[in-house]
DNA sequence: CCAATAGGTAACCGATCAGTTACCTATGAA
DNA sequence: TTCATAGGTAACTGATCGGTTACCTATTGG
């Protein structure tokens, strides 16, 4: 797998557990074990998810003693927002069409 | 794979070829062979991508004679927009912090 | 009617996925 | 100093991925 693919934000957010981790981190940073407890998965599984998120630069890790606190770094999500921007007009049109269709009855 | 996973819009947009197909369909519907030509992939590959997009309800197919024209159906993307909405405030904060940091110098 | 065309799909391939267990290092506390 | 704790990681597993080739059906035009 090449570096670009590894850092791909779309790949990072494709997994529901990773999205849940990001959602959880919105409430504040957390060490790995805390996350593992929250998500009823083993620590290595969470650790691997965090690695993917780190590669996509969606989290950063801060070492405090023997703990590693992971914090949300949401900026790369803007890439997705940017891509979706081009569709906003279209689904607005779709909704308008639906509305018009319903009103025509 | 369960039905929910099959219809998952995040899974559907995780692949760059599928996102390119969606982008392409914004310019208007297209039959499978036209897409296969555009993306330098074999027809079955495109056909499978279209199936995934169809399961996620991101495209719909219209049969015209022996052609099947695929059209964009962007509404499910709103789910992603909705999820991202919760992060908008945060990266705004991040940008503000960066701005403040730069101005402090 | 029949040859050409559009396109779905099964079977297969190598790569990647998400998860596990087992093991390792590093740090902190008694 | 030594034991407990935090957490990374290698190796393995079964599932899924994206792509191919080969084959099938349905529709069209001459």
* Strand ranges of the sheet holding B59-64, from the earlier edge strand across to the other edge: B30-31, B67-72, B59-64
**Binning pLDDT at 50, 70 and 90, where does residue A98 land?**
low
In this predicted model, which residue has the larger pLDDT, A30 or B2?
A30
A51 CA: distance to closest CA in chain B (Å): 18
Task: Fold for A3-74, please state it.
Answer: Arc Repressor Mutant, subunit A (1.10.10)
Torsion sign, CA atoms A95, A97, A98, A103: positive
Mean local confidence (pLDDT), B72-91: 93
Nearest-nucleotide field for A34 (CA, C1') = D6
- Alpha carbon of residue A72 to chain centroid: 9
Q: Is A71 helix (H, G, I), strand (E, B) or coil?
A: strand
Supply the mean pLDDT for chain B: 92
Residues of B in contact with A13 (CB under 8 A): 10
pLDDT at residue B104 is higher than 70: no
pLDDT tens-place string over residues B65-78:
999 999 999 999 99
In this predicted model, which residue has the larger pLDDT, A47 or B92?
A47
ipTM value: 0.89
Please state, in angstroms and rounded to a whole number, the distance separating the CA atoms of residues B6 and B51: 10
**A42 backbone dihedrals φ, ψ, rounded to 5°:** -70, 160
Please state, in angstroms and rounded to a whole number, the distance separating the CA atoms of residues A19 and A21: 5
**Binning pLDDT at 50, 70 and 90, where does residue A89 land?**
confident
Contacts of A44 (CB under 8 A, 6+ apart): none
CA B41 to C1' C4 (Å) is 22
Strand C footprint nucleotides (protein C-beta < 7 Å) = 5-11, 15-22, 26-28
CA B24 to C1' D29 (Å) is 30
pLDDT at res. B103: 73
What percent of chain A clears pLDDT 90, i.e. is strictly above it? 76
Mean local confidence (pLDDT), A37-56: 97
Tell which phi-psi region holds residue A70, choosing left (phi > 0), alpha (psi between -120 and 50) or beta.
beta
- B1-74 belongs to CATH 2.130.10.10: no
pLDDT tens-place string over residues B30-59:
999 999 999 989 999 999 999 999 999 999
pLDDT at residue B20 is higher than 70: yes
Q: Is B53 helix (H, G, I), strand (E, B) or coil?
A: helix
Contacts of A29 (CB under 8 A, 6+ apart): A62, A69, A70, A71, A72
Q: Is there a contact between A75 and B84 if contact means CB atoms under 8 Å apart? A: no
Residues of A in contact with B86 (CB under 8 A): 23, 26
Asked whether residue A18, judged by its CB, lies under 7 Å from any atom of the DNA or RNA strand C, the reply is yes
């Amino acid at each position: 797998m090449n570096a670009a693919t590894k850092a791909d934000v779309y790949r990072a957010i494709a997994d529901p557990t990773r999205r849940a981790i990001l959602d959880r981190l919105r409430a504040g940073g957390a060490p790995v074990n805390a996350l593992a407890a929250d998500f009823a998965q083993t620590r290595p599984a969470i650790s691997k998810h965090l690695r993917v998120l780190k590669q996509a630069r969606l989290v950063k890790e801060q070492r405090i003693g023997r703990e590693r606190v992971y914090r949300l770094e949401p900026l790369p999500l803007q890439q997705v927002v940017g891509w979706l921007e081009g569709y906003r007009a279209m689904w607005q049109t779709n909704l308008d069409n639906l509305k018009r269709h319903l009103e025509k009855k």
